[in-house]
Amino acid sequence: MTMRALMLLSILLCSAPTLAYEIGTHAYVSKRAVDGSVLSPTHAKSIVPVMGFERLDAIKPFEARVPPLPNPVRGYFDNAPRPAISIASEDASNIFVRRIQAEEGNIFERLANVGLVPGKDDPTQFDQRLVAWVMRGAVREDDNAVGPFEIGDRDQDPWNVVFRAGRHFYDPINRRGLDEQTFTCPTFGCRPAIDWAAGRTDVLNGPGSLDTSRENHFSWQDARDQYWWALTFNLNPDDPSIHGFNQRIESGYRQLRFATTLKAIGQVIHLVQDMAQPQHARNDSHGPPWTTVFTGDSPTDGAYEAYTEARLFREAVPSQFTNAIRRFDGSLLPRADLPMLRLAGNVPYPVPRFSQVVEYFTTQGTDAAVGARRGMADLANRGFFTASTLPMNIAANKPDDRVNTFLDPPRPSGSAAFYQEGQIAMSLFQNGAVVLKQNLLFAQMPDVLAPNWNAQSGLFGADGRMPILTRSQMFRAADLIATPTPITQDSRFVLSNEVFTAQADAMLPRAVAYSTGLIDYFFRGRLEVTPTAQKAFALLNQGEPHTMDLEGYPRRPDGRIFGFEKVRLAVRNVSEAIVESGPAAPALPQTSPSGVLVAVARYHRNTCYQPDLSGERQSAFAPPSSTGVVTEPDCPPGTTPRTDFQEIATSAPLTVASVADLPGGEGTAGPALPVEKVFDFSADPIPVNATDLFIQVVYRGALGEEPDGIAVGSYDLREPAFVGIWNNTDFYWDADPGSLQWVPQGGLFPWQNAVFLDVCTGAPSRFAWSGGPVAGAPILGIPVPEPGVVRLALLFAIPATPTQQFSIRVTPNMIDAISAPQRSWFTRGAIHQANLETIPAALLDTPQTCPDNPTAGAAIWCKSPIQRRRGQPFGHVLAPVFYDSTNGNTNGQDVDATPVTTFPGLRVAETGTVRYNNDVLADCPLPPLPPQNPEAAALIELLETAADLGIPID
């Protein structure tokens, strides 16, 4: 072992302090970026409701319960890189869970102590929030492994040992990462930050190539993978004995993957923020003072970051992991000499928009002229000097043999007109007894995106100039130099705290804006999910044989989940076209020409559910506008109206082969119309007892110029609404104004058997279900003594207006020429939903009957009751087949409006054909002949259209 290695080992074995190097600045810049991005719930285009994050616990949204572990898991995944992009959940199975650590917790606590984040009295109130996960990534990107040792309280990488700092540099002038050849790069390896951030190689030439052996498992590519798995991870090993146990584990995994996604985003924006530090864009290596023995750097090389961190926390801290910010007499710089860190000006720096990830770092791939480049590294590289790239170093081409390629800012010796010189007073000693004058060179920072922002910000002079160089003491001793040379002239400049202050004030607001822009770019993919014209997403014959297993899943006789197997909806790409920041440029559509489309149903379950609906709330009849008495069910032991964890069902993927398969990409105002899709859930049905149901549609594939983008849309639909259809011809409705009552059948309309039955839905009405005789028995049995019932379950849309209703048209085919008429019945759908993912258990015993979706605020639990009529539970929608004295022109009053004979029981129809699952829907069949007069059929269609439009019908 060499002496140098021994020295390094001895340092690493020393007890590491809890304070870290410059990560506080990264954490706070990241917080400000999140606050201004689509990750904020107050943003006009927030991704929060699309993800359903607003339903989660605001303090610890992604804390996961993963049995058999007794305690909640607060961590994230570290996946080894995949050799290729895959959509399979099995590809995420090679997992390693890393726990949250004290490293970032200490930073959060320090930020709380200075009032920059909540949680001063209780750090646990902040360290798991959504924004904290992004900040955690920004902190953890500075994890640096050296051999088997970790510098500081680091989160050890399970797959490889990486000195990440060697991957945090990019010089856009020479297209290179850190290439220091003295110690760091030869020992630990270095890579360009743009490749390290992207998880790809050659990213300046188009999309680049997937880096399948990447050491960075929190790159942009990894964030994409984790985002996909957070949305779709579902191994679905349907072993009936442990299905619920597995589902709970996978539910926890998805929570952790959302946390991992945000953490990876934080690590990527850390790298953009590094580009806002001029040393990282000018290949000026720097580090804590003790590293200079190995790197050959000057101790002053680390002064800028340490000074900026001291400004953030309002104190200069002595530590072996940071540069002590001291005055000439050796004392630490006092708070009075530490100006507040300013991350915003009088006007916000505009959030940049680019069409490629790499352009947030550099636009050299699209802008040939150096002065036209708009990336973060481009701005920092040409805007400032650094300790190792001062004018003298540029003139001498040392210590970096390519430093003379940095032509901006120009050297003062040849560009006097570029600068204005000013003088300020500085105190030399702590007591301020000795005061010197310090000469500063002021200049305007070139910025293609916002050339006037410095002047508008109020952080600098009215002309936007800022100090970028300080006259050195050699300047004051210039008369001692007999014959000045260009090098001696250039040697007269140094950096000072005033220059560092200006650098941070100029670049950190830009770092916030660029980080915000990159977050927005990550989540820019948006889909619009809407119901079809029929306003129904799915249909199921609830009467098909099924039972409930011990875990609360409905099961068919063959053991498969009993639930909805086809979902039809309309979808289009509403991702906004990108107009790149800078000079006028055309809008770049974010089209989706090739990839896959998957529907994901997110739900809880009502484990009280029973096939005969005895596990539902039941409401008796009451005359309008009264409400019938609601009876709560006696749930079997061990069951609950709502499970305490969210599950998903995933459809088979649909191929997107062209933009026509998923049109759009120009925003919601774009010309593209949505396309209707039928998603196949037959391998993973949505259970008939689903509650809290909402549908996400996820696209993964090419998106604009990104080769592997993701677009998401969601729709919060109604929960299963049960429609009860039965033969009520043992009574007929006397519509005479003087009567208006149900009359037992005499001779006017003898009861008949409904042999066949057609059911349609929507406006225009489409064929949804049909049934016929079973073993010679009519589909609806006979009216007495025990009628049959067809009980369908439908997933309806949410009404768009307070008066909109959706139709269910029932067409019976009676046994002879005298037929009961075709009628439509109307509903706004059923609600079985809470407004939060976790609600108090006691609330489940006192549900509400909510007229609309539950709103935000205090925990709410809505559960629409089914209707009990003639002594039997029929469903949420009552659709009796009956006669009336007007030959079918009225729907009559409720069948319990006057006492009618109760049914001793029901025979539920077990067979039938779900026509709504067909790829192409058929028109609603015509009623049998002779049905009713033609005007009656037209009236039905008119009523259905009026209900869909929300027009009240008297």
CA distance 455 to 506: 11
In which band, very low, low, confident or very high, does the pLDDT at 11 lie, cut at 50, 70 and 90? very low
**Least-confidence region, from 64-78, 79-93, 399-413, 929-943:** 929-943
**226, 51, 76, 238: which is closest to 155 by C-alpha?**
76
Predicted local distance difference test score (pLDDT) of residue 336: 84
What is the predicted pLDDT for the residue at 173?
97
On the CB side of 260, CA atoms within 13 Å amount to: 33
Q: Which residues are within 8 A (CB) of 166 and not within 5 positions of it... i.e. 6 or more apart?
A: 177, 178, 184, 185, 188, 189, 190, 191
CA dist., res. 142 & res. 212, Å (int): 22
Average pLDDT, the chain: 89
Cα three-residue angle 660-662-667, rounded to 5 degrees: 110
CB distance 494 to 470 below 8 Å: yes
Q: What would the DSSP string read from start to end of 609-645?
A: --TTSTTS-EE----TTS-PPEE---PPTT--SS-SS
pLDDT per position as a tens digit, 89-148: 999 877 788 888 888 999 999 999 999 999 888 878 899 999 999 999 999 999 876 655
CA distance 233 to 147: 35
CB of 577 closer than 8 Å to CB of 666: yes
Note the pLDDT of residue 857: 81
Average pLDDT value for residue range 639-647: 96
User: What three-state secondary structure class fits 896?
Assistant: coil
CA distances for 711 relative to 128, 526, 571, 595, angstroms? 26, 5, 11, 11
pLDDT per position as a tens digit, 813-869:
987 666 788 899 999 999 999 999 999 999 998 999 998 888 878 999 999 999 999
pLDDT score for 70 = 87
Give pLDDT tens digits for 213-244. Answer: 999 999 999 999 999 999 999 987 667 788 89
Confidence class for position 258, pLDDT limits 50, 70, 90: very high
Amino acid at the residue 377: A
Angle 864-869-871 (CA atoms, 0-180°, nearest 5)? 115
